[in-house]
A and B are shown apart, each in its own frame.
Chain A
Amino acid sequence: MNPVLGYVAIALVTAATALIGFFGLRFSRTTGDFYVASRTVKPWWNASAIGGEYLSAASFLGIAGLILLQGSDALWFPIGYTAGYLMLLLFVAAPLRRSGAYTIPDFTQARLESTTVRRITSLLVIVIGWLYIVPQLQGAALTVRITTGLPPWAGAVAVAVIVGVVVAAGGMRSITFVQAFQFWLKLTAIAVPVVFMLLVVSDVPSLDPLVAFPAELAPSTPDIYRTVSLLVALLLGTLGLPHVLARFYTNPDGVAARTTTLIVLALLSVFYVFPTIIGLLGRAVAPDLAEPAAADALVLLLPGRLVPGVLGDVLTALVIAGAFGAFLSTSTGLVVSLAGVISQEAFGGSVRGFRIAAALSIVVPLAVSLLAAPGGLAGSVGLVFAFTASTLCPVLVLGIWWRGLTARGAVAGMLTGGAACGLAIVAGAMVGPGAGVVSSVLAQPAAWTVPLAVAVMVGVSLTDSRHIPRGTDRFMRRLHVPERPGIPAP
């Protein structure tokens, strides 16, 4: 591949991101501006921004790679990633916006009136954020290595530096514009090459469909436990993703939060059509890439292979730009929300503290990504979803809908879910894929760790019913009572 394409595409995306980020700087003046863009962002902007932030390396590169590698099992990933927003709409969107809290720890503290709960939630948010940034940086390393020939660390360091500077300089007001831009960039960068590839694909030699889409990898022979467990993780994990939740605070009211989510569902549905097409195309025309080290690069390599000449080069530059946009946008979103939490915990919530916290939020995952061996992008992100679904999802859903939840119940449930899920993933990695049912149960733990966390949370809360927070009824009212037309939400 011509390295100039890679350099040009990456430079353009970085310049656009920085320009929009600094252009937005004019609007951020107060602490409130920095944290949640003063909650005046319109649903279309906000939905584009949520899409921009959500579509990460796993979506842009990982899904197509996994379809190439594993066949139809991978087709559950994009539908799960999308349906996660359906669950968010049903159980979280409007009440969470009405809670008036800025971060998940703010929410749990206000709901359960406990600083212990707050600390544990903060810790989980930070761990989840770090774990989620790691695959983004590994995706960047892969992209830079394949497109420019530079050593892998260069890509990870470049993304980390850009993200740190943009976040520390602009805060979230400019991030909203950056993210909205990133969504449309990513959609264009994957849709246009797909259209051109579909136009020329009939002239390209392709495998017999029976070989490209073999019966043993078809949807009719699912590993039922693994599929169900994956869907539990993806559907419920979205509910607790820190960078996604922070976006909902920027809606003007609860009804707008629902409208925003609806638009997000439509945007994601359109987007995921394209990586799916690339994955299916890859099975038919690029079977040589179907190995773990190369599959995640399918999206980057296929346009240049199928479309000849200058047009092929332009399309390749476009997908590189989109991929780089994906790493930048998800990482900035995560760093903003992590920095919010870290600065409130450690620096009293000042603007200067936010900047220091932003640096901390990106340096730790950068170190991990440089030390750890990269796994498949879609798979690693799937495990973060499982962890989120086992910890933050239960406390949010029960906190919003069940007045019997107590601080002790929440702490016990979060710790049990987190420990069970974390240990299962580590044990699963040590056992490996060869141990049949045991491997599946450990490697894809959400189907049992989520019910376990919920059961402990409910069980402990029931034995602790004397300690139901005194402000519970008042807080439930705040979460669920609709805003009156004409009275602006606080």
Chain B
Amino acid sequence: MTGAEQRPVRPRERVTAPEAAISLPGAGVGPTDIGTIYVRSLVRSQLRLAIASAAGFVVLLAGFGASFVLVPDLGSLLVLGVPVSWLMLGFGGYPLVIGIAVIYVRAARRNEAGYLALSDGARRESEGDPT
């Protein structure tokens, strides 16, 4: 028995996408199925990547905050009549956010390409399998 047969019939089904188009052709959905194992490993690597990126951002932001306390000169040095620490906090965070986002998007795409290559390889090995 597969998950497909057990899926409860819901009246609101029409507002979600048709599932058949999303699940991989030929792949089952049991917990020990090779496809499921690949998916779980994809989820793990994407989650690791997301957490590492978020942690990186938090550490950099905390460093930002700490620098104002540790380097008091940032508060007394004026540029265009405004203390440098105010300018850094007001305008310095954005390049950081965008930099991390760009790195993350590339790495996430690489993870997905790796998954597709793996599952295509697995499918070719089981060619002729009617399921």
Contact = CB atoms under 8 A, between A and B. Distances in A.
Given A100-B22, A220-B69, A209 B81 contact: yes
Interface of B: 3-4, 6-8, 10, 12, 15-19, 21-24, 29-31, 35-36, 39-40, 42-43, 46-47, 50, 53-54, 57, 61, 65, 68-69, 72, 74-75, 78, 81-83, 85-86, 88-91, 93-95, 97-98, 100-102, 104-105, 108-109, 112-113, 115-116
15 contacts: A72-B89, A79-B89, A82-B97, A86-B101, A219-B89, A220-B68, A227-B65, A261-B101, A470-B6, A474-B19, A474-B29, A476-B39, A477-B35, A478-B23, A480-B43
A349 B42 CA distance: 35
A487 B3 CA distance: 24
B65 A86 contact: no
Contacts of B72: 220
A416 B68 CA distance: 37
A27 to B, nearest CB: 20
B39 A473 contact: yes
Interface stretch (A161-169, A188-196, A265-273): A265-273
Contacts of B83: 209, 213, 218
A265 B97 contact: yes
A91 to B, nearest CB: 5
Contact of A344 (B6, B12, B31, B100): B12
A477 B36 contact: yes
Given A76-B89, A261-B101, 5 more contacts: A83-B57, A90-B50, A213-B83, A476-B40, A477-B22
A476 B105 CA distance: 20
Interface stretch (A5-13, A106-114, A331-339, A353-361): A106-114
Nearest to B105: A258
Interface string A97-110: 01111100010011
Interface string A64-105: 000000001001101100110111011100100011111000
A75 B108 contact: no
Contacts of A99: 16
A215 interface: yes
A38 interface: no
Given A106-B16, A220-B72, A471-B6, A98 B85 contact: no
A243 to B, nearest CB: 18
A231 B72 CA distance: 23
Interface string A468-490: 00110110111011101001011
B115 A82 contact: no
